[in-house]
Copies of this chain bind each other. A is one copy, B any other.
């Protein structure tokens, strides 16, 4: 069956950008849950019933739900229930969602639905890393009284975000120290032109201006903060509880910021395009 239409139910502005990008490629778009002010768009928000009835595919938001019982829909005046009735209405549709396992745990009814977890896709994670890295740099530029150029930046972790962030900071002219655990990662960090440091030895560092943590483990404890980061701005990108001892940071007078969900906040347009690309990749492979 040739896909011709998509219904976007709930979510924030990146869903609208995804919808807009699909519309510009000729797809018919229905949106539901955007009746509060959220910018100028060419679509009108309709009811969930109408949206679902008309569309070949459904797109649910990131995150899917915050309370476990309604769809995450910050721009909707009415809650959209995440119940068996909704699941039943999806029976002959392809449904693109995040948090698929959560959905399956809610009720047996969801097992009947053709669910595609686009948020679990590796290519979306990689592309979101670009938006996260830029968002982190935007925070750093706003908070730091010096220039990134010439500053001493520590990037902890050499996963997706760490790789992109190291490159961008280097591209802005920072002195980039990247911390990793494995010897081969340290070798690659050196090969790509940054200064490698073993994550076990963070407390040997001194005079860091900006810390970017991407590791979801408590690696910035009081000791490490006090020794090398006492004049630094610390930006933690790791999901809660993060990798920074925020209490100690406060006690030490260190500004520490937990910056989460950056892609949707700082770059909803790019995030929307990434969602669209990932959904199209999944349809192509289907």
Taking beta carbons and an 8 Å cutoff, which residues of A are in contact with B? 13, 17, 121-123, 125-127, 129-131, 134, 137-138, 141-142, 144-150, 160, 163-164, 167-168, 170-173, 182-184, 186-188, 190-193, 266-270, 273, 281
Contacts and interface: CB of A to CB of B under 8 A. Distances in A.
Contact of A187 (B127, B134, B267): B127
A149 B122 contact: no
Contacts of A123: 183-184, 186-187
A34 to B, nearest CB: 16
Nearest to A263: B147
A270 B168 CA distance: 20
Contact of A141 (B160, B171, B182, B266): B266
B168 A147 contact: no
Contacts of A192: 163-164, 167, 173
B134 A160 contact: no
B173 A147 contact: no
A117 to B, nearest CB: 15
A130 B147 contact: yes
Contacts of A193: 149, 167, 173
A187 B141 contact: no
Given A168-B173, A191-B149, A142 B138 contact: yes
A164 B270 CA distance: 25
Nearest to A161: B191
A121 B163 CA distance: 22
Contacts of A164: 191-192
A202 B144 CA distance: 35
A142 B148 CA distance: 16
Residue of A125, A171, A191 with highest tally of chain B CB at under 10 A: A191
Q: Which of A122, A182, A193 has the most CB of B within 10 A?
A: A193
Given A127-B191, A145-B270, A146-B270, 7 more contacts: A126-B187, A130-B149, A130-B150, A144-B267, A146-B269, A167-B192, A173-B191
Contacts of A122: 182-184, 187
Given A134-B147, A137-B141, A267-B147, A127 B168 contact: no
A140 to B, nearest CB: 9
A147 to B, nearest CB: 4
A184 B122 CA distance: 6
B138 A184 contact: no
A53 B188 CA distance: 37
B188 A163 contact: yes
A151 B107 CA distance: 43
A130 to B, nearest CB: 5
Given A147-B267, A172-B171, A129 B183 contact: no
